[in-house]
């Protein structure tokens, strides 16, 4: 569950130095209430490829939503998982706003329909 390597984009986005990342585990990026699901995901050896959305925390405490695509591989001859992580916080907020606007629009249209 610990980080074996990290790219500069992750360092820049999360606010941790490369050294800090390499001393951390994946659990440390998750809110406490999400750790059980993380452990469950990692303990399923049959799932060599996974795609999911999860919550992460940056060094400054900000919570973000991320899409994770991960798969099993060998790293320096040891079993590991490669994770590609994309911050989707703003996209999810925009999608929620669009759903709320659509619901309000539909309610407005329904209230304006002529009953007879």
What's the average model confidence in pLDDT over 90-109?
94
In whole angstroms, how far apart are CA 14 and each of 8, 11, 35, 108?
10, 6, 18, 42
pLDDT one-digit tens code per residue, 4-44: 999 999 999 999 999 999 999 999 999 999 999 888 888 77
pLDDT band at 85 (very low <50, low <70, confident <90, very high): very high
Which of 26, 29, 37 has the alpha carbon at shortest distance from 3?
26
Q: What is the pTM of this model?
A: 0.79
pLDDT one-digit tens code per residue, 37-67: 888 888 776 668 888 999 999 999 999 999 9
DSSP 8-state assignment for residue 65: E
Question: What pLDDT, on the 0 to 100 scale, is given for residue 50?
Answer: 85
With vertex at residue 68, the alpha carbon angle to CA 56 and CA 38, rounded to the nearest 5 degrees, is 60
Domains of the chain listed by start with CATH number: 8-88 (3.30.450.20)
- Cβ(64)–Cβ(87) below 8 Å: yes
116 pLDDT above the threshold of 60? no
In whole angstroms, how far apart are CA 108 and each of 2, 18, 100, 105, 116?
51, 52, 12, 5, 17
């Amino acid at each position: 569950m610990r980080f074996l390597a990290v790219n500069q984009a992750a360092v820049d986005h999360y606010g941790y130095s490369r050294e800090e990342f390499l001393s951390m585990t994946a659990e440390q990026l998750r809110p406490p209430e999400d750790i059980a699901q993380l452990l469950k995901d990692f303990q399923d050896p049959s799932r060599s490829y996974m795609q999911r959305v999860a919550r992460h925390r940056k060094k400054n405490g900000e919570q973000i939503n991320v899409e994770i695509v991960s798969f099993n591989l060998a790293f320096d001859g040891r079993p590991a998982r490669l994770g590609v992580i994309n911050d989707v916080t703003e996209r999810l907020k925009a999608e929620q706003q669009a759903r709320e606007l659509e619901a309000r629009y539909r309610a407005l249209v329904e209230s304006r329909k002529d009953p007879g």
